[in-house]
Structure 1
Amino acid sequence: MWVSVVLGQDGWSVTYTPQSICALRGSTVDLACSYTYPSGRVTTTLWFTKWETGVEPEYLGQDPEYASHVEYRGDKEKDCTLRITDLRERDSATYRFRLLTDQERGTYTGKLGVTLSVTGLQVKVTGGLRYKTLTCSTTCTLTDNPTYIWYKNGQRLDESTSPQYKDPVSSNYIDGYSCAVKGQEDLHSPAVCVRGQDCSRVTYTKRTICVLKGSTVDISCTYVGFNRVKSSLWFSPKQRASWTNMSTPEDLTRDPGYAGRVEYARRERGMYEGHTTLRITDLREEDSAEYRFTFKTENIEWGHSFPGTTLSVTDLQVMVTPAAAGQRTLTCSTTCTLTDNPNPTYIWYKNGQIVTEKTSPYSVLHNAVDSYCCVVKGHEDLSSPAVCEYSTTAQNST
């Protein structure tokens, strides 16, 4: 329910809007918050979920469980919004905000907080032998009155504000159904068979992947065809404009933009099911796209509209910010959190020589002639451009 809760006394207040949120696993949520204080200057702001009596609470950003997917988007004046990305069920908790000022007794906590519940989507099948009722089920009521989208054998069917599919469906054992929330189609439910477990379906190993430019990525899924699979391919909707027929996906291996960089690995588990992997090498930033798998049997073609895996390709950049007098802080930056290494160790080079390995930003003394670059440990061949620490790009000597 979208309700603001204001807790305050003597000029102190913290306002949470709303008081409770239900969000999908894998999504991003903003815990909107504002605050006031009577006087002085704000020195510290922090969000926390655990607080023992007599012990200062720990900021979420310092908790390894949260470090890679929380971001404080507020300021030290009035905004205290917290963003949490890639939500997990274990993120379900009550979140509270605390601020400290430079005044005596200048500490205040908004004690009621925001209660966050994280849920996945599941298709529930009910009804008799001939016809079934499908419901897109969650463990809490999603915030913002979502619109639900339905898929049958990977093909988009319909959308509705009701979590229940509009018509009863026939108990056809071939058909598999899945649901999603509009605007978050990549967070769809697993495909569910109307009767038993032997229907067609595709299940992607990962919904999103972030990797370094120049590296190699494997995108994989499992598939089941009720009858023998006759043909299959991987494709990207981003390439639709280059297809001969825009309604018929074309195999990535035939796309000139991927020439020599794409290969498939397929492992069958009998006649009707298997595991397939799309490998893309020498990744480029323009490879950032959604990738989908489709197959044909004698009875069906797995739909082209079923969401697949979204790939983000990032380079490394050295960000330079002022620090204490005579110092600069260097941060090795990416545009997304690396999937297989969310808290990487960075190797830093100064004038082409290794100087340190760190998981956190690197502080250096101001010297206009020095240049720095960084790499992710394990990917030493994929360096950032070299940067002079007064933030002018230098020649890379590594």
Structure 2
Amino acid sequence: MSNCVSVVLGQDGWSVTYTTQSICTLKGSSVDLFCSYTYPRGKVTTTFWFTKMEAGIEPEDLGQDPEYADRLEYHGDKKKDCTLKITDLRERDSATYKFRLLTDQEGGKYSGSPGVTLSVTGLQVKVTGGHQDKTLTCSTTCTLTDNPTYIWYKNGQHRDESTSPQYKYSVSNDYDASYSCAVKGHEDLHSPAVCVQGQSCNRVTYTKRRICVLKESTVDISCTYVGYYSTTSSFWFRSDKSTPEDLTTNPGYAGRVEYTGTYRGPFTLRITDLREEDSAGYRFTFKADNFDWGHSFPGTTLSVTGLQVKVTPAAEGQKTLTCITTCTLTDNPTYIWYKNGQHLDESTSPQYKDPVSDDYEDSYSCAVKGHEDLHSPAVCVQGQSCNRVTYTKRRICVLKGSTVDISCTYVGYYSTTSSFWFRSDKSTPEDLTRDPGYASRVEYTGTYGVPFTLRISNLREDDSAEYRFTFKTNNFDWGHSFPGTTLFVTGNKYYTV
């Protein structure tokens, strides 16, 4: 373990400086690999970090590795600063990281050695000693950097803080007692709770510590729990509330929350129609006649995000497109790309890999497989007059017999010759005003550049479908594969989407 400045000098003025040569940090946390560089002459054309290098083969840029998708933040836009941030760390991220730069001069390539050795570890409570005299240690596979403060919990209640990884108080011999540890500043990354006697102690184990999902989608947050005594009640609550409040009674979640599961099996909180303000820590509590699982024990942190297409300049006047989120999406999603409303490509990388069009008429949008209706807004790559359609709402749920307005705004680079709404489950797009199933129930209002609305009256349950909008010009037809608005029609006045 080293925590000193390491300056690596190359020949003829090349150098790379790594502020810290060795780092040990927690799984699920973030790390900064601080770095700066110098070079003798010319112009820097390429900079990147890598972990593997074979003789005679150019190493792979970590930014192109799907394993690191959405988890890298490179500070290379600052002069001679090559600092790299890695978020949502995994144990398999443990490796030696090196920085490489290329210039426009002959032989202008350099890799900084020895690099930064990163070790990623989880926390475990290790129990040693006899029946009456036990010692608890918050154990890691490497020595954590920066002398952390350890936090201890007993039965989910905050118990102690210390710079020592050993628990300093007497350990309970009660069969109902469980212990867990965390590191200050990373309380959500606590260890699993362990029993000190037997295996029936009170404990809660969360399936995931952090979840990042799309706005308007559905999420399942789950845990397993064991109680030494018979449970009398249990519920989920938001940790940012002053007192624990059962989410099923919270007006902000009305019609959007459901509990499923039982004791010892995964007990799940399902939240539908997610909103960005649902981003919070969620905790589970259970009660017995003489016991209440501690409310201070960290739970699962939920982050809710939308999708945006980021356009950045690249080499030789080209542009790079990235499907960005405010957090790293859970479960390594597959990204889908659309150009002018047509399905283009699918990839595990959030970056669009094909050449980007330079035409002023072209727009791009991205989505995540399985959530195609939650796509990003379409963006122009040149100017602001490209072809695009923006739906006002992605999902709508209304009562049978009522009337609904489904709307969008559209922009066309060329003069529009026709436009209409259609159901996406039809083999070919058919104007709804000509569909006998909608006779006398469909009306269009609005015009180009303002909300263009499809109104359907006297709704039936079989009107439930996805509705899309298309427009045409003399030399262009807005792509029919672009997702639209999904309508749910229900006969029940108590409904959720």
Q: Give me the TM-score of the superposition, normalised by structure 1.
A: 0.90
CA distance in 1, matches of 2:196, 2:45: 57
CA distance in 2, matches of 1:389, 1:57: 30
CA distance in 2, matches of 1:151, 1:250: 22
Q: Which has the higher mean CA deviation after the structures are superposed, 67-76 or 309-318?
A: 67-76
Three-state SS of the structure 2 residue aligned to 1:331 is: strand
Contact between 2:137 and 2:166, CA under 8 Å: does it hold in 1? Answer: yes
CA distance in 2, matches of 1:116, 1:370: 43
Match of 2:377 among 385, 391, 396: 385
Contact between 1:326 and 1:366, CA under 8 Å: does it hold in 2? Answer: no
Aligned pair in 2 of structure 1 residues 354, 99: CA closer, same or farther (>3 Å)? Answer: same
Match of 2:311 among 303, 308, 320: 320
CA distance in 2, matches of 1:347, 1:122: 42
**1:128: Cα distance to partner?**
2.9
Match of 1:374 among 366, 377, 380: 366
Q: Which amino acid aligns with 1:281?
A: T
Contact between 1:34 and 1:80, CA under 8 Å: does it hold in 2? Answer: yes
Equivalent residues in 2 for 1:130-145, closer than 5 Å? 130-145=132-147
Contact between 1:320 and 1:390, CA under 8 Å: does it hold in 2? Answer: no
**1:327: Cα distance to partner?**
6.2
Q: Does 1:115 align with 2:121?
A: no
Q: Highest Rg: 1 or 2? A: 2
**1:93: Cα distance to partner?**
1.6
Partner deviation per Cα, 1:150-209 (whole Å, 9 max, x = no partner): 111111112111111221212112110000001101110110111232211111111111
**1:129: Cα distance to partner?**
1.9
Q: Does 1:296 align with 2:291?
A: no
Q: Which amino acid aligns with 2:258?
A: E
Contact between 1:27 and 1:85, CA under 8 Å: does it hold in 2? Answer: yes
Contact between 1:264 and 1:278, CA under 8 Å: does it hold in 2? Answer: yes
CA distance in 1, matches of 2:103, 2:236: 56
Aligned pair in 2 of structure 1 residues 391, 163: CA closer, same or farther (>3 Å)? Answer: farther
Aligned pair in 2 of structure 1 residues 199, 391: CA closer, same or farther (>3 Å)? Answer: farther
Q: Which amino acid aligns with 1:345?
A: Y
Partner deviation per Cα, 1:358-379 (whole Å, 9 max, x = no partner): 4332654344455543332321
CA distance in 2, matches of 1:77, 1:30: 17
Aligned position for 1:243: none
Aligned position for 2:265: 274
Contact between 2:336 and 2:343, CA under 8 Å: does it hold in 1? Answer: no
Q: Which amino acid aligns with 1:354?
A: Q
Partner deviation per Cα, 1:109-137 (whole Å, 9 max, x = no partner): 22211111111111112233223221111
Aligned position for 2:415: none
Q: Does 1:2 align with 2:26?
A: no
Contact between 1:45 and 1:76, CA under 8 Å: does it hold in 2? Answer: no
Aligned position for 2:342: 354
**1:324: Cα distance to partner?**
7.0
Aligned pair in 2 of structure 1 residues 323, 135: CA closer, same or farther (>3 Å)? Answer: closer
**1:383: Cα distance to partner?**
2.7
Three-state SS of the structure 2 residue aligned to 1:384 is: coil
Aligned pair in 2 of structure 1 residues 392, 261: CA closer, same or farther (>3 Å)? Answer: farther
Aligned position for 1:332: 323
Aligned position for 1:73: 75
Aligned pair in 2 of structure 1 residues 119, 274: CA closer, same or farther (>3 Å)? Answer: same
Three-state SS of the structure 2 residue aligned to 1:169 is: coil
Aligned pair in 2 of structure 1 residues 326, 59: CA closer, same or farther (>3 Å)? Answer: closer
**1:283: Cα distance to partner?**
0.5
Match of 2:217 among 211, 215, 220: 215
Equivalent residues in 2 for 1:124-203, closer than 5 Å? 124-203=126-205
RMSD: 2.2
Q: Which amino acid aligns with 1:306?
A: F
Q: Which amino acid aligns with 2:259?
A: Y
Q: Does 1:258 align with 2:253?
A: yes
**1:253: Cα distance to partner?**
0.7
Three-state SS of the structure 2 residue aligned to 1:30 is: strand
Q: Give me the TM-score of the superposition, normalised by structure 2.
A: 0.73
CA distance in 2, matches of 1:101, 1:222: 54
CA distance in 2, matches of 1:63, 1:119: 22
Contact between 1:43 and 1:76, CA under 8 Å: does it hold in 2? Answer: no
Q: Which amino acid aligns with 1:130?
A: Q
Q: Which amino acid aligns with 2:296?
A: S
* Unmatched segments (≥5 aa) in structure 1: 241-245
CA distance in 1, matches of 2:383, 2:302: 30
Three-state SS of the structure 1 residue aligned to 2:188 is: helix
* Unmatched segments (≥5 aa) in structure 2: 391-409, 411-483, 485-497
**1:31: Cα distance to partner?**
1.0
Partner deviation per Cα, 1:336-367 (whole Å, 9 max, x = no partner): 22213x242213151xx324124332654344
Q: Which amino acid aligns with 2:245?
A: E
Contact between 2:16 and 2:112, CA under 8 Å: does it hold in 1? Answer: yes
Q: Which amino acid aligns with 2:152?
A: W
Aligned position for 2:442: none
Q: Which amino acid aligns with 1:209?
A: I
Contact between 2:212 and 2:303, CA under 8 Å: does it hold in 1? Answer: yes
Percent identity of the aligned residues?
A: 70
Per chain length, whose mean CA-contact separation is higher, i.e. which structure has more relative contact order (CA < 8 Å, sep 6+)?
Answer: 1
Match of 1:311 among 263, 278, 302: 302
CA distance in 1, matches of 2:133, 2:151: 20
CA distance in 2, matches of 1:320, 1:88: 29
Contact between 2:363 and 2:378, CA under 8 Å: does it hold in 1? Answer: yes
CA distance in 2, matches of 1:57, 1:324: 19
CA distance in 2, matches of 1:190, 1:217: 23
Aligned position for 2:447: none
CA distance in 2, matches of 1:280, 1:386: 28
**1:392: Cα distance to partner?**
4.6
CA distance in 2, matches of 1:171, 1:84: 41
Contact between 1:133 and 1:167, CA under 8 Å: does it hold in 2? Answer: no
